[in-house]
Chains A and B, each alone.
Chain A
Amino acid sequence: MSSIEVIFDKCIGCGLCVKACPFAAIELVDKKAVINEKCTYCGACVDACKKYQAIVITRHTFEKHDVTQYKGICVYAEHRHGKLSSVVAEIIGAALKLKNILKVPTSAILLGHNVKPLAEEILSYGVDEVWMIDNPKIGDFAEDIQAGLVTQVILEKKPEIFLGGGTIFGRSLLPKVASNIGTGLTADCTELEIDPETKLLKQTRPAFGGNIMATILCQYHRPQMATVRHKVMKEAAKTDSTQGKIIEMNHIPVPDPVIEVLEFVQEESETVNLADADFIISGGRGIKDPKNFALIQELAKAVGGAVGASRAAVDAGWIPYSHQVGQTGKTVNPKIYIACGISGAIQHLAGMKGSDIIIAINSDPEAPIFDVAHFGIVGDLFEVVPELLKQING
């Protein structure tokens, strides 16, 4: 079993570890560090005690996989209504970058019915192989059966890295696969790189609402799995000459689904798909009245963007929850995010801090939104937005 131990002979009772511990899990008893049950093995104390080396973590790992058997980088090709999700080109882009370092083949797992054209599209991005199961039982929202199928493909083909989109579907499917295989999975990564020495996949992701970043390794289990945040990685480019091939894996039996789709409802307004939008215009408390969201809509239309909202606007009932950006809503990464009348509470920032460019419009120059904004205009949004529209429409 893993353990954490204080070597009393080396501990001088300086208390540096007590200060370093984020979980208040260390106390000084008779001038010696004593670790209590709040400890999560984070290792902060070990770093703090570099000088005396009095704290030692012994890390054991269950049933290590034979990692040498696994080769190649595989992505999950999510699709819906006959179209590849836009995140697929992004994770292929990430996979091709990793391939340059690792010099291993790339592949994609594609499950569905009549999906051959999608397989060809995937190959056009420069992927070496598409592992395809084509079966009428595999519906668009069937992670119940897809998880088992993906698992079997992976166990047969043994890729060392398996990536999926950080979409609602991907973040539901991949955990089930990881658990099935008994390997690690890192959620919603914003950075992937190969460690030059160990060749391990360094997976970096935001946590605590984007306030900290963590880099995570999966050393002894395969594949190293990650979901990748939408709109962060650069898309792979399509090429005319494709050399990859489609490998049909229809020998894997497809079970009957236990989840039945009754109805798919596309939200009426096209301005709700915050995940795919390059521009998002958001309104907050400063909008004052539900009618005034029309102004935000107008700006969104003018730039071809989607409409977002702060929690305050949603809780006031001015706009549906599906528009909410923030910790208890959606996390978005558009090219441009325009916050209109949003003060910038921590919880809101957690959902939009990853945007390439943040523009704040607020009448209060002290509003915290200006701290994260690349550009800001201090002024009444009811004057600023119409002026913006006027000058954009020129």
Chain B
Amino acid sequence: MNIVVCIKQVPDTTDVKINPETNTLIREGVESIINPFDAYAIEEGVRLKEKYGGTVNVLSMGPPQVDASLREAISLGADEAYLLTDRTFAGADTLATAYTLAAGIRKIGDVDIILMGRQAIDGDTGQVGPEVAENLDIPHVTDIRKIEQIDDQGSIYLERLLEEGYVRLKTKLPVVITVVKEINEPRLPSLKGKMLAKKKEINTWSAKDVEVNEKRLGLTGSPTQVVKIFTPPKPAGGKVFDGDIKDSVGKLLRELRASGILMGSEKGDE
């Protein structure tokens, strides 16, 4: 089983502030981590390897400091690490990112399963998985909460989370799978893993090392353009009732009625 796990390095918190003067993100003092959803993908890759044998390759695109996240993935049980890093990759939207990652996956070669988290906590798009699948011309399944089994015929059985329940699916390898948190509980890095991660050679590829059309990379290959960034307006001064509880509840319901927000029995439908 040749497994690729795509990971993204993201800022450690969603508590990102905006500099009101420059209208830009303040990332100062914020540590970088592996996107939390991708951590589940790494763990699932390692579990599949433990069950079916094979190799777990971890792949990322980004500036050179992503090296640290790839080493962390090694400490968590990944076997090989690949970093796509080049000035021409910078400024990529999801289309250009997926195009570049797909080129990296092709270079790794003969891949059976591509795993990633359902979305990154900075961009929150969830688009790269399906877009990588399209680039590789293979199917994808999103929001997977369980990989039931992979049989000898190369069929994979999965459970996909939906809004109102879940659906059990069967498809053929190779496939791109995005995972939700429910799928597993990631292990902590072992001491041996940490030692290994320190010494591990990270394969670093620039645009020249992979087969790509340069026009499809980075800013040039990105159809979308961010034209404005701003902080969402805060809710206008909330009303907090901190007196007697019966009184507080009464006041709350009166407020809700007064502002035309009806609840339950007051709609007359109970």
Residues of A within 8 A of B (CB): 1-2, 19-24, 37-42, 44, 47-48, 59-63, 141, 143-144, 147, 167-169, 171-176, 178-180, 182-188, 202, 206-221, 258-267, 272-276, 279, 302-304, 321-322, 324, 327-329, 335-336, 346-347, 350, 353, 357-360, 365, 370-380, 383-384, 387-388, 391-394
A376-B15 contact given A214-B229, A393-B265, CB 8 Å threshold: no
Q: What is the CA–CA distance of A50 and B126 in the complex, to the nearest angstrom?
A: 35
CB-CB under 8 A from B94, the residues of chain A are: 175, 185, 187
Contact, CB under 8 Å: B95 / A178: yes
Contact, CB under 8 Å: A321 / B63: no
Q: Which 4 A-B pairs have the closest CB atoms?
A: A184-B223, A209-B14, A41-B91, A184-B224
CB-CB under 8 A from A273, the residues of chain B are: 163-164
CB-CB under 8 A from B172, the residues of chain A are: 258
CB-CB under 8 A from A207, the residues of chain B are: 122-124
Contact, CB under 8 Å: A19 / B142: no
CB-CB under 8 A from B190, the residues of chain A are: none
Residue B195 CB within 8 A of the other chain: no
Q: Which B-chain residue is minimally distant from A353 (CB atoms)?
A: B232
CB-CB under 8 A from B264, the residues of chain A are: 302-304, 392-393
- The winner among A37, A353, A360, A380 for most chain B CB atoms within 10 A is A37
Binds A, one of B42-50, B73-81, B106-114, B250-258: B250-258
A218-B224 contact given A22-B25, A209-B14, CB 8 Å threshold: yes
Contact, CB under 8 Å: A183 / B223: yes
Contact, CB under 8 Å: B22 / A261: no
A41-B90 contact given A208-B14, A266-B164, CB 8 Å threshold: yes
CB-CB under 8 A from B157, the residues of chain A are: 262
Q: What is the CA–CA distance of A212 and B171 in the complex, to the nearest angstrom?
A: 38
Contact-residue bracket for chain B: 35 or more
Q: What is the CA–CA distance of A272 and B166 in the complex, to the nearest angstrom?
A: 11
Q: In whole Å, how far is A382's beta carbon from the nearest beta carbon of chain B?
A: 10
CB-CB under 8 A from B203, the residues of chain A are: none
Interface members, chain B 2-41 (any A CB < 8 Å): 13-19, 22-28, 36-37
Q: Could you list 13 further interchain pairs (A-B, Cβ under 8 angstroms) beyond the known A258-B172, A262-B170, A273-B164?
A: A23-B27, A38-B65, A141-B169, A144-B171, A183-B223, A207-B123, A208-B16, A264-B167, A276-B163, A304-B264, A322-B165, A357-B261, A388-B249
Q: In whole Å, how far is B91's beta carbon from the nearest beta carbon of chain A?
A: 3
Contact, CB under 8 Å: A188 / B125: yes
A172-B130 contact given A141-B169, A357-B261, CB 8 Å threshold: yes
Option from B125, B142, B261, B263 in Cβ contact (under 8 Å) with A392:
B263
